[in-house]
Amino acid sequence: MAYLEQVFFVVALGITAWFITKRVKLIARAIKLGRPEDRSANAGERLKIMLEVAFGQKKMFDNPLVGIMHFVIYAGFIIINIEILEIIVDGLIGAHRVFAPFITPIYPFLINVFEVLAFGVLAVCVVFLTRRWVSKVQRLQPERHRELKEWPVKDATYILVAEIVLMLLFLTWNASDSVLRDRGIGHYGELQGVVPDFLISQYLKPLFTGFGDGALVAYERAAWWLHILGIMGFAVYVTYSKHLHIALGFPNVYFSDLKPKGEMTNMPEVTKEVQLMLGISPEQADPSGGNENGEQPPTIGRFGAKDVEDLRWINLMNAYSCTECGRCTAACPANITGKKLSPRKIMMDTRDRLEDIQRGWVQNGPEFKDDKSLLGDYITVEEINACTTCQACVNACPININPLDIILQLRRYKVMEESQAPGSWNAMFSNIENNMAPWKFSPSDRFNWADQVNQK
């Protein structure tokens, strides 16, 4: 029987690894559709930002209570899964708590830490479900935000419920294991005096005192298997879910833009033309073009972006890293005033476009092309034109995602390639070209208002 369990475990582990590997390759290929850009400079500063923002959840602590809860659920779930190492070894060799005899002094401490975190994750997940379905936090309600209808709401609920179930399985498994150890049954009894009762699960032991030995062993085995198979299934499911940020949040923050938030990147195509008009040769021109590493981004044959291939790779990683928390949309003045723009929807639409392309690759081969584009089929002109470029969404994002960068690139395409800008914009462009200001008066008259103030 133990041999069959080992075989089943190896097969389950192999299937999980195959699915995850296949999915990771597809996601990596989708991100590489974006234009290349070197973001390797300033490694020390990037590492510091990653530790503060991604692991330390620095931005979340603007609201201390919410920040603490997010830290518990994020860091806690990651740390708890260190226990998976022992479970995997146990499953592969058919052992039980294989590490316990070798690290006896610290083993109880480690499991106690895991149990405290597991209880914290469980409690926070219950609070988050309550906030979503009972107190109804506005930015999480599909009635107000059309991008949340159907799958996004179900996805968030599935994950929270799954985490609650996994934590309950972990704690009750430890409790039933402790009762079996107390009774001295089989290999469980061999750890008497080596493994004590644990901090949280000891209070669950009364639930199992009425179980017979056979029923208790059956529950312990069922909880163990459901816990590890649940984690395997969770690991695969996450690659299809918004909770992919569990893995991508760290690199996404590491490669985030280090430039000041209000600085917009110049278009290398335009920069080159202006330099030529000014008589500056390519050899004399400043190659930076707005790139933080002083490297000229490659031109793409058009101004701005129409589809995901025209965006930069970091924009596409941003899309896969989006947590759909809605803090960007809640901070957006355009959305607050009732306009259709939702920065969260911009990121979700970009990811949906990438997912559709991925499905095309799987169904029709790696050369798949369709007639759709990000601008028009997923994101509308009305949405991108509503943006005020105020950077509120960029500042609000807890993992440094930049919806504004995508909006600007799409808007540049619409204005510069298709010459479709609102009339008021065209008037402003003309004034800037002729008067070096958005207003229609001569630069020499610009400070006349100051003379009028002085006269008073």
- Is residue 446 assigned to a domain? no
Residues 240 and 288 in one domain: no
Compute the distance between CA of residue 302 and CA of residue 269 in angstroms, rounded to an integer.
Answer: 8
The residue out of 254, 285, 318 marking a domain boundary is 254
Compute the distance between CA of residue 256 and CA of residue 401 in angstroms, rounded to an integer.
Answer: 7
Residue-wise pLDDT tens digits, 220-278: 999 999 999 999 999 999 999 999 998 999 999 999 999 887 777 777 777 777 777 77
Residues 239 and 327 in one domain: no
Residues 86 and 214 in one domain: yes
For residue 96, give the 3-state DSSP assignment: coil
Confidence at residue 446, expressed as pLDDT on a 0 to 100 scale: 75
Token pair for residue 437? 């200001």
Count of positions (residues) in the chain: 456
Please report where in the chains the tokens 């901070």 appear, as a residue.
331
Least confident of 157-171, 265-279, 329-343: 265-279
The more confidently predicted of residues 35 and 277 is: 35
The residue out of 254, 285, 311 marking a domain boundary is 254
Residues 224 and 308 in one domain: no
Least confident of 261-275, 300-314, 336-350: 261-275
Quickly state the pLDDT bin for 445 (edges 50, 70, 90): confident
- Is residue 44 assigned to a domain? no
Q: In 3D, which of 128, 135, 31, 41 has the Cα closest to residue 77?
A: 128
Helix crossing, 83-93 with 213-238: angle to 10°?
120
- Average pLDDT of the segment spanning 333-337: 95
Torsion of Cα atoms, 85 then 86 then 87 then 88, to 10°? 50
Residue-wise pLDDT tens digits, 95-142: 999 999 999 889 999 999 999 999 999 999 999 999 989 988 989 998
- Average pLDDT of the segment spanning 433-454: 79
Highest mean pLDDT pick, 262-266, 312-316, 415-419: 312-316
Find all residues with CB under 8 Å of 452, minimum gap 6, and list them: none
The residue out of 224, 254, 284 marking a domain boundary is 254
Token pair for residue 358? 């991925």
Confidence at residue 339, expressed as pLDDT on a 0 to 100 scale: 94
Confidence at residue 125, expressed as pLDDT on a 0 to 100 scale: 94
Least confident of 156-170, 181-195, 282-296, 342-356: 282-296
Residue-wise pLDDT tens digits, 43-89: 999 999 999 998 888 998 888 888 899 888 877 777 877 888 999 99
Residues 224 and 282 in one domain: no
Q: Domain tally for the chain?
A: 2
Confidence at residue 157, expressed as pLDDT on a 0 to 100 scale: 92
Confidence at residue 52, expressed as pLDDT on a 0 to 100 scale: 93
Q: Which residues pair with 160 in a beta bridge?
A: none
Is residue 282's pLDDT more than 80?
Answer: no
Compute the distance between CA of residue 161 and CA of residue 118 in angstroms, rounded to an integer.
Answer: 14
Q: What percentage of residues in the chain have a pLDDT greater than 90? A: 65
Residues 311 and 222 in one domain: no
Residues 347 and 396 in one domain: yes
| DSSP codes, 332-370 | -HHHHTT-S--HHHHHHHHHHHHHHHHHHHHHH-TT---
Q: What percentage of residues in the chain have a pLDDT greater than 70? A: 95
Give yes or no for a contact between 47 and 254, defined as CB atoms under 8 angstroms apart. yes
Using alpha carbons only, give the angle 342, 348, 354 rounded to the nearest 5 degrees: 145
Give yes or no for a contact between 169 and 180, defined as CB atoms under 8 angstroms apart. no
What is the reported pTM?
Answer: 0.88
Residues 198 and 68 in one domain: yes
For residue 106, give the 3-state DSSP assignment: coil
Least confident of 74-83, 184-193, 296-305: 296-305
Confidence at residue 265, expressed as pLDDT on a 0 to 100 scale: 78
Residues 282 and 220 in one domain: no
Quickly state the pLDDT bin for 93 (edges 50, 70, 90): very high
- Is residue 159 assigned to a domain? yes
Token pair for residue 322? 């989006």
Torsion of Cα atoms, 141 then 144 then 150 then 151, to 10°? -60
The more confidently predicted of residues 78 and 401 is: 401
Quickly state the pLDDT bin for 193 (edges 50, 70, 90): confident
Please report where in the chains the tokens 């639409």 appear, as a residue.
349
Token pair for residue 423? 């009339």
Residues 291 and 203 in one domain: no
Please report where in the chains the tokens 């089943």 appear, as a residue.
8
Confidence at residue 420, expressed as pLDDT on a 0 to 100 scale: 87
Compute the distance between CA of residue 165 and CA of residue 229 in angstroms, rounded to an integer.
Answer: 12
Residues 172 and 203 in one domain: yes
- Average pLDDT of the segment spanning 348-376: 94
- Is residue 308 assigned to a domain? yes
- Is residue 311 assigned to a domain? yes
CATH number at residue 104: 1.20.950
Residues 190 and 282 in one domain: no
Please report where in the chains the tokens 């936090």 appear, as a residue.
137
Confidence at residue 100, expressed as pLDDT on a 0 to 100 scale: 92
- Is residue 430 assigned to a domain? no
- What element of type H or E holds 78? helix 64-80
Tell how far CA 158 is from the center of its chain.
17
- Is residue 166 assigned to a domain? yes
CATH number at residue 337: 1.10.1060
Quickly state the pLDDT bin for 284 (edges 50, 70, 90): low
- Is residue 49 assigned to a domain? no
Is residue 295's pLDDT more than 50?
Answer: no
Confidence at residue 447, expressed as pLDDT on a 0 to 100 scale: 79
- Averaged pLDDT of the chain: 89
Structural domain range at position 353: 268-421
Least confident of 37-51, 91-105, 285-299, 300-314: 285-299
H helices of 134-244, in order, are 151-183, 186-189, 213-238
